[in-house]
Structure 1
Amino acid sequence: MTYFQRLSLSMFTDSVIIISAIFFGRFLLSISLDVANTSLVISSLTLVLSHHLFSLRYNLYKKAWEYASIGELIIILKCVTLSIITAAIIQQLMNNDIYFRLLAITWMLHMIAIGGSRFCLRIYKDTYIKEKQNKKRTLIIGAGAAGTMIARQLLHNNDVELQPVAFIDDNVKKKDLDIMGLPVVGGLHMIEKATKELDISNIIIAIPSLKRKALHAIYQECAKTDAKTQILPMIEDIVLGKVSVNEVRDVQVEDLLGREPVDLDVAGISENITGKVVLVTGAGGSIGSEICRQAAQFNPETIILLGHGENSIYSIEMEMKERYGGSNINFVTEIADLQDPDKMMSVMNTYKPDVVYHAAAHKHVPLMERNPEEAVKNNVIGTMNVAQAAGRSGVGIFVMISSDKAVNPTSVMGATKRLAEMIIQDMDQKSSTKFVAVRFGNVLGSRGSVIPLFKKQIEQGGPVKVTHPDMIRYFMTIPEASRLVIQAGALARGGEIFVLDMGEPVKIVDLAKNLILLSGNSVEDIGIEYTGIRPGEKLFEELLNPDEINEKQVYPKIYIGKTSELHMEQIQELLQSFSTLEKTKLREWLIDLANNRVAAPADQLVMMLG
């Protein structure tokens, strides 16, 4: 039906309703037609005409009544009341009298009939049409502002596949109340029972400001049911306008394992980055690329994207230019090998960076166990080349990304990272550049992370392969780790090993179970297989040696480890001789040196060389 056809039908229907209301009111009040003949006819015509004029003025005929709410009811009230007032004025002008009782009865009948005719469509839509559609019965957790908003969106939008049925809320004052026609059935302990009794197939967690720990607890309750669990976006994303409050999404493992964001010291970071030249090594990697994104927010003059893989560097270059194309930031790419000291020196001398974030490294534990010489070349020699070039060219701050595996290392990767820490601490004593390291654990979603591997195994139907039932690890999101790395650089005084607060460690088997449930499968269907600890792995990781512990935070979630002994003479001996050693001997020496077991390195070397 066209708008003109709808308008004509609505005006005709309203005209019939108004005239019927007047004459029915006259009948109820027993007013003789002879007494008020002329006045009644003129009042009727005035009322009809004024109603149409006010309805057009307030767009009453443009409303989609299947979505009517209190706003439309207020418009009807305005139109009817103003029409009655207009009719009263006409009566006064014609007769010096107003039929108050007749107008009052007419107003009441007018409101009931006009409003009822409109809201019948809404009632029809909310009952008959919804019952015909096969919608997913939905339980909303949180009966606050966000919960009621999402309920309203679902109730008013006939195109969505979700039908809200009830609320869950821990507020005892709301229990057994009806909000927008939906009952509040109880607190979080009622989730499992309500899901069964109400035949719920979908759950929406509608508490945008929810703390991660509380979210994890709620999700564990939801996981006891067969319903699909979704969540509203984070409150900061809603406030910033990035997403709408009704854009529900699936719960992700980052929601369960991540922590609350820390407010950065914007002034301190801006002093180091704004208008400065920033160099990021390993800029194509998961951490390096995110550091580029975070640093760009502080409007540096230039960001140098340095890496060995041309495809990854090209990808981050295109992303940065697209995202910050309207800014004055100059993005420069350098394809370079950290093992080439001349190239590193050339890059430093050419661009004269103010800040260097050294994220390039070999990080895969089992691969480095099989290729220890490559770990030495990239993680130790590469770090030394970049650090020495930075010191000689007058870089202001040099931040190296380290690992929790550098603490009491049992792997080649961890040992080479610990040696790299020693190198930059030694460089800090010899150079005006402030050299620091930042140490943290596993990063969610990074290359080589266990999460993408688990997801792939789940997609293939399982089983998910876990090394050991007691294996635990620290986890942090890529953006959080990168933000704290940049913050640590702003706190640098020189020589520190900053340690990021990784929160509570997570059992890998629990992580695997959560990922299976989040994918919509059951643990029984996918299965978990234990494969045994791989070479170089530990059941748990540490962030500080006992002699390094300094419990005071220098910034929220950032600690400083105490400086331990450096073994630069032994490191130099290792670097001069590692290529002549067989892999097993090299691995042993790396781990011994990283663990301060260096009583007689020269004699040990002679023994190793035979």
Structure 2
Amino acid sequence: MYNTELYSKYRKQVLMLMDASMIAISFLAAFFIRFDFSVPTEYYSYFTSWLPAMILVHWLIFNALGFYNVIWRFTSLWEMFKIVRVVSSAYVLIAIGVWSFSGFIGFPRSVFLLNYFFTLGFITASRIFVRVYYSHYKGNLGQHTYESKKRIILVGAGHTGGKIAKEILDTSVSPFKLIGFVDDAPEKRFATLHGTKVLGTIDELKNIASSFDEILITLPSASGKEMRHIIKACKQTRKLFKTVPSLAELIDDKVSISMARDVSYMDLLGREEVKLNRHSIGNLFDGKRIMITGAGGSIGSELVRQCLSFKPSELICVDNCEEHLFSIEAETDKIKTKTIIRSILGDVTEKNHLDKIFNDNRPQIVLHAAAFKHVPIQEEHPWAAVKTNIGGTLNMIKLSDKYKVETFVLVSTDKAVNPVNVMGASKRMAERLIQTYDLTSKTQFMAVRFGNVIGSSGSAIPTFQQQIKDGGPVTITHPEMIRYFMSIPEASQLILQTAAIGRGGEIFLLEMGEPIKIVQIARDLIRLSGFEPEIDIPIVYTGLRPGEKLFEELQTKEEDLIATNHKKIMILKDDSHLYEVDWLALESSVHELLRIAENLELNEIQSFLKKLLPDYSPGKFMNVRLPSHIEPYSIKGQA
């Protein structure tokens, strides 16, 4: 019986003996073919005298080029190219040796050429044998060894489906047995991928449900409409189904079956993949010291993950929540990276400590995501929004200028447009601060404005999911409430792209797609959980809360949009003429607002904010959306 442990211990020696045999057979076959299977006796001496040298040269070259370090059970096209390279290198050296010793006198050149192709063919065949052996014979042994293997079928016989299938087939201890694929592409019907058949279309899943235990959806680029169709077909089988992450969630296109997760609402939303200009982002971030505030939050933590792929020299993660900071620190500790990651417990309202953080770390890029964001809570505690969202931003701005930060990006919100709540007004003031300070600073200050992100802490979707888990009801403030949504990875990626595009003073607006009714989200989530809305799980309307709008806007009536070279990023045309541009006067007003906030009086804070922001309408419910106009624009040739 084949002993795996013995082979693993002496793998290199076994492969060297195998190669020696292949080289000998190839050399002999070349002589036989050259002389039509009637080799003259005198040529046998050439064979016996040159064979040891040929084997030795091959061994030396194969070792030098790392040929014996390849794990052949995972052979791919890349390994095939490596075989060609090492065999060709060996024969170049052999040719030089033969020419030096005998000038090819008495050594038929055709034998040399035939020998090269035979050696290439036999060594390739030996590696394919190892690959096939591990994929099928050892895989079948694993099937018998692990009786608990789950029969799995993959939805999608494309690039990602092929990667997942290869992973299952290559891993004898995989807990899965691959049954096949389903795919709606007509050209793939009954085709094979990695030796596994496409068994039919997605709608035919229910007809073959008895042949599998689980379903894995391997279509990371599927649209929302396609995912709804797939999920409907999966539910009809009454089998467990999961999906691989979306393209927005994948970093560097790396996918594995270990990444499989439950289908989320984001999958139903199915927003188009974000195509980044990674070259321009890399030029900005590579080798830089980057500070991220609010680094433990929903957006901040994703910015940390995304930044690491652009190889900054240092990543300074600042957060005022010990638990969040510990969580992102524990996550980054598992990542193999040359980037120095520093986790700092700090609050943007504490200027002295913040000054020390800047002085100790000297960031070159600042991504300012720290903020209070929950509208009803900030309506009840407006002083907190003023201190953190306005005062904290003021501290970050002045220290960034003091320590010569190159680029500063403020993470803003669509609630800053015609604000009707303190949270939105505080973010609008933060936007004004960075735009005004940019006029005189060498630091490039800019802001990024976008709507709701799916899955952020305390937002509607996690709340609905918990309510469904508890048996209902699902509570919604108003049946006509609508919101813009995007995923956390998508928002974070576009924030990095705006940093690369911006030249200072801009408020960028991310393309949010079409707004969605909150009640439709609730119904989709109820169905996704296996229930029927209003039958199994009731929906209850509770009325608008203080500071809430029926829907959010992305721009004011004075703000036209300017297109950039990235279709998902636009710039709001400068509206600074609407406000004072005297920084000292603006800063003085902010300090007065911060003084008022110390009194903890809601009415005083609202009144002063109204003086600073004429478009702030506290307590007003908006029910009219303003039209937008987009002009073409190009920024310094960047995308």
Shift of 1:212: 2.2
Q: Distance in 1 between matches of 2:482 and 2:173?
A: 46
Q: Distance in 2 between matches of 1:210 and 1:315?
A: 29
Aligned to 2:606: 587
* Contact kept in structure 1, 2:225 and 2:268, CA below 8 Å: no
Shift of 1:166: 9.9
3-state secondary structure, aligned to 2:273: coil
Report 1:526-537 matches (<5 A): 526-537=537-548
Q: Distance in 1 between matches of 2:448 and 2:377?
A: 23
Whether 2:191 is the aligned partner of 1:171: answer: no
Q: Distance in 1 between matches of 2:490 and 2:199?
A: 39
Q: Distance in 2 between matches of 1:143 and 1:282?
A: 40
Residues 432-489 of structure 1, C-alpha deviations (whole Å, 9 max, x = no match):
1110011111112212222221121111111111222221111222222111111111
Whether 2:549 is the aligned partner of 1:541: answer: no
Residues 387-430 of structure 1, C-alpha deviations (whole Å, 9 max, x = no match):
11111221111111111111111111011000010011111012
TM-score (norm 1): 0.65
Q: Distance in 1 between matches of 2:569 and 2:432?
A: 20
Query: For 2:281, which of 255, 269, 288 is the aligned residue?
Result: 269
Query: For 1:371, which of 381, 392, 397 is the aligned residue?
Result: 381
Query: For 1:577, which of 596, 607, 632 is the aligned residue?
Result: 596
Distance 1:149 1:347, change over 3 A: closer
3-state secondary structure, aligned to 2:579: coil
* Contact kept in structure 1, 2:157 and 2:181, CA below 8 Å: no
Opposite residue 474 of structure 1, the aligned amino acid is: Y
Aligned to 1:504: 514
Aligned to 1:558: 569
Distance 1:142 1:338, change over 3 A: closer
Aligned to 1:393: 403
Q: Distance in 1 between matches of 2:491 and 2:219?
A: 22
Whether 2:320 is the aligned partner of 1:308: answer: yes
Q: Distance in 2 between matches of 1:258 and 1:512?
A: 17
Aligned to 1:491: 501
Opposite residue 548 of structure 2, the aligned amino acid is: E
Compare 570-579 and 436-445 and name the one that shifted more: 570-579
* Contact kept in structure 1, 2:161 and 2:219, CA below 8 Å: no
* Contact kept in structure 1, 2:242 and 2:261, CA below 8 Å: yes
Q: Distance in 1 between matches of 2:468 and 2:456?
A: 18
Shift of 1:334: 2.7
Structure 2, unaligned runs of 5 or more: 4-139, 581-585, 618-639
Aligned to 2:309: 297
3-state secondary structure, aligned to 2:290: strand
Query: For 1:461, which of 468, 471, 474 is the aligned residue?
Result: 471
* Contact kept in structure 1, 2:152 and 2:216, CA below 8 Å: no
Distance 1:135 1:342, change over 3 A: closer
Q: Distance in 2 between matches of 1:514 and 1:508?
A: 10
Report 1:419-458 matches (<5 A): 419-458=429-468
* Contact kept in structure 2, 1:253 and 1:514, CA below 8 Å: yes
Structure 1, unaligned runs of 5 or more: 5-124, 599-610
Aligned to 1:233: 244
Shift of 1:227: 3.7
Aligned to 1:19: none
Aligned to 1:331: 341
Q: Distance in 2 between matches of 1:307 and 1:163?
A: 44
Distance 1:513 1:595, change over 3 A: farther
3-state secondary structure, aligned to 2:555: coil
3-state secondary structure, aligned to 2:453: strand
Aligned to 1:208: 219
Aligned to 1:69: none
Residues 547-606 of structure 1, C-alpha deviations (whole Å, 9 max, x = no match):
2121413423111111223343754543443444731342354356434469xxxxxxxx
Shift of 1:249: 4.6
Aligned to 1:88: none
Distance 1:278 1:343, change over 3 A: same
Distance 1:551 1:580, change over 3 A: same
Distance 1:531 1:596, change over 3 A: closer
Identity %, equivalent residues:
40
Aligned to 2:25: none
Shift of 1:513: 1.9
* Contact kept in structure 2, 1:436 and 1:492, CA below 8 Å: yes
TM-score (norm 2): 0.63
Q: Distance in 1 between matches of 2:235 and 2:330?
A: 44
Distance 1:134 1:272, change over 3 A: closer
3-state secondary structure, aligned to 2:439: helix
Q: Distance in 1 between matches of 2:156 and 2:348?
A: 52
Distance 1:515 1:592, change over 3 A: farther
Q: Distance in 2 between matches of 1:485 and 1:149?
A: 30
Whether 2:293 is the aligned partner of 1:281: answer: yes
3-state secondary structure, aligned to 1:465: strand
* Contact kept in structure 2, 1:397 and 1:435, CA below 8 Å: yes
Shift of 1:495: 0.5
* Contact kept in structure 2, 1:201 and 1:226, CA below 8 Å: no
Distance 1:171 1:207, change over 3 A: farther
Q: Distance in 2 between matches of 1:362 and 1:501?
A: 23
Aligned to 2:262: 250
Compare 162-171 and 380-389 and name the one that shifted more: 162-171
Residues 527-566 of structure 1, C-alpha deviations (whole Å, 9 max, x = no match):
2221111111111111111221214134231111112233
Distance 1:147 1:400, change over 3 A: closer
Q: Distance in 2 between matches of 1:242 and 1:168?
A: 19
Residues 151-181 of structure 1, C-alpha deviations (whole Å, 9 max, x = no match):
9989xx9998999799573639959xxx989
Opposite residue 488 of structure 1, the aligned amino acid is: T
Compare 312-321 and 489-498 and name the one that shifted more: 312-321
Q: Distance in 2 between matches of 1:275 and 1:257?
A: 36
Q: Distance in 2 between matches of 1:252 and 1:151?
A: 23
Q: Distance in 1 between matches of 2:496 and 2:252?
A: 25
**Larger-Rg structure:** 1
Opposite residue 539 of structure 2, the aligned amino acid is: I
Report 1:78-117 matches (<5 A): none
**Aligned length, in residue pairs:** 462
Q: Distance in 2 between matches of 1:385 and 1:198?
A: 60
* Contact kept in structure 2, 1:195 and 1:201, CA below 8 Å: no
